[in-house]
Structure 1
Amino acid sequence: MTAAAIRSVLGEAEWRSRAATHRERVDTLAGPYLRARAAGAKHPVLDFLFTYYGHKPAQLRRWHPGFGVALSGATEYTGLRGYHRIDSPGGESEPMVTADPEFLRARADAASYIADLLRATASRPPQLSCFGLHEWAMVYRTGEVRHDAVPLRLGAEGTDAVVESMPVRCTHFDAFRFFTPSAVPRNNRQLTRAGQIDSEQPGCLHANMDLYKWGFKLTPLVSSDLLLDCFALARDARELDMRASPYDLRAHGYDPVRIETPAGRAEYVREQAGIADRAAGLRSELLAALESLLQQNFRGGSTARSTM
């Protein structure tokens, strides 16, 4: 990438200030998880955001400006994956660093698939009738539980009775694939990885949490400001996910959403709708960022399209 291709240049004082603000926000959002980890304990709600997704706190704390923005005086970014050095216009100051277009070309397939998935998801109306039963289906008729450090709020029999009392309408393959064998045929449709683009819908908590995943998969091409907004949404969605789950988390400060009752289901739908509204804006921002990246890649002489 030549200096002429850079949209903007951030001076050292400016980008270091933005990076410090970013780290402070990460530490606030991830604080309960970080404190639990420091004490050698697990956090029954927030662990998911770092263990299942696999993007570590140290990675999230590093701020990235996104593709097309150069940083002056950022020697510590030299050698980081996805970055390269460019000369300043006129060569009068030290070299700058920016996201590498070769890294973009290597990620074009992923960016294209993610953009297709986000576009398809946004095109559908939100479905708000699942009531978070996916977590219940993961422990249906089994002696094993996924979160063995916390008890089942209604016990095993009570949990099974809730699953059997209403339709299971999961639309997210990465939740469905953890259903117990007895729960799989209870879902109203059989989901597959190949059909993910055809089944995702914008009311799903996990589809909305995944905006964070899609963002960090393209680090450092996507700005950390957008990524952290997606993380904040994922954290709130995960809290609702687990409050509505069969687990009793009151000892950890989480009041249950009792989806086995009409009032609990109404509460779940209200909170789920709020998450979906926030996700719609972030999905649009992330899709716009990906479309811009793909246009940049096309201008660079390479196009790519496939699944993940």
Structure 2
Amino acid sequence: MKAVTVPAFGGPEVLRTTEVPTPTAGPGEVRVRVYAAGVQPVDLAVRGGWSPPGVRVEPPVIPGNEFAGVVDQLGPGSRGWAVGDEVLGFRLLRAHAEYVTVDAAQLVAKPAGMPWEQAGSLSASGQTAHIGLTALKVGPGDTVLVHGASGGVGTVAVQLARAWGATVIGAASERNHAYLRELGAVPAPYGEGLVERVRAVAPQGVDAAFDAAGRGALEASVELVADRDRIGTIVDYPAAERLGVRGLRAERTAARLGELVALWEDGGLRLEIADTFPLERAADAHRLVGDGHVRGKVVLAP
């Protein structure tokens, strides 16, 4: 099969699309023919030499942590799925390929009307947003500041917080402000003076802050949110430790992903796709994500 590989750590130019052995589903696993797979900032970090907690990544490695496709092989003892089922799911690495094997418990059914690009890009960003807002105890009556509100994680975080009864202020580039208004957020421009701008649109105060951007977001957040236990980041862990706020991490689950799919089916979740690339243009996908101003998600389509 074809797969995107990192033969040596470095910039986007190190990525190669190569022929590798097609995996076989093991006990309790299924094999999925991948139709779409999202590209995350974490994939760029892996390409540069970073290893996820508990894992030692050494080249050559296949990046990719989320996908959607069709079940085409059942491993011994796997349950709940049949060949031909349309699914979306998650695993650690190896999703940027034509086929991926995965624990059967890490899949959910794809709604018939969900486009493949949206299905393949939901799990990582969606679950990250869900995990973060849950940890920050976001709920009815809260005012929540989301940094990086127009990105893949931010897009879902804005809509989840709104669905859970919160008022959302979305920090993002001005070119994305109309988009944020469509999602139900009050936009605020990035940059110097953010604290004053947020206070102007939220005179009642800010109850929680979710950072999906970095770049000084936590420093602004501690000026706006009284309870530092309700400030969290998914990107700037050194600053979180220094400022005494939360570095947000948790385990992904099919139950959480299923909740997000149900919200999409009910019309409560809009998923934005910035661009779609074939495997052979994975370097271009990485460059676009690395630009840091993507609206929604970038997807690979094997």
The two structures share one fold, judged by TM-score above 0.5: no
Q: Higher helix proportion, which one? A: 1
Higher RCO (CA < 8 A, seq sep 6+): 1
Q: Higher strand proportion, which one? A: 2
TM-score range, shorter chain: under 0.3
**Bigger-Rg structure (1/2):** 1
- TM-score, with normalisation over the residues of structure 1? 0.26
